[in-house]
Amino acid sequence: MYNLLVSGEENAWEGKMYSLTKERCVKVAEYTPIAISERLGKFTLDAKKELMSYPCIFAYEGFHEAPKLGWLTSIREKSNTITIEFRIEELSPWVTVDQFRELAPILDIVGFESFRTHWAVKDVELIEELKPYGVILPKAFAGKKFNVRNPEKIDFDVAFSFPGESRPYVEEVLKKLKELLPYSPIFYDKDYQAFLARPQLDIYLGNIYKNKSKLLAVFLSKDYQNKSWCGLEWRVIREVIF
3-state secondary structure 154-187: CCEEEEEECCHHHHHHHHHHHHHHHHHCCCCCEE
Determine contact, residues 9/61, Cβ cutoff 8 Å: no
Determine contact, residues 127/55, Cβ cutoff 8 Å: yes
Calculate the dihedral angle through the C-alpha atoms of 226, 229, 233, 235, rounding to the nearest 10 degrees: 60
pTM over 0.85: no
Report which residue type is found at 41: G
Looking at the chain, list the stretches that DSSP marks H as alpha helix, in order from N- to C-terminal side.
34-40, 45-52, 97-103, 126-130, 139-143, 167-180, 193-196, 201-211, 222-226, 228-241
Determine contact, residues 66/97, Cβ cutoff 8 Å: yes
Give ranges for CATH 3.10.590 in the chain: 2-137
3-state secondary structure of 205: helix
The tens-digit pLDDT sequence of the chain (242 residues) is: 899 999 999 999 999 999 999 999 999 999 999 999 999 999 998 889 889 888 999 999 999 999 999 989 899 999 899 999 998 988 888 999 999 999 999 999 998 999 999 999 999 988 888 889 888 766 555 545 555 567 887 889 999 988 888 889 999 999 899 888 866 789 998 888 767 777 778 788 888 988 999 999 988 777 666 665 555 666 777 777 66
Fold assignment, 2-137: ph1033 like fold (3.10.590)
pLDDT recorded at residue 2: 93
Give the separation between CA 3 and CA 75, rounded to whole angstroms: 13
pLDDT recorded at residue 143: 47
Residues 6+ apart with CB under 8 A from 205: 161, 196, 233, 236
Query: CA distances (Å), 181 to each of 136, 137, 161, 163, in order?
Result: 12, 12, 18, 24
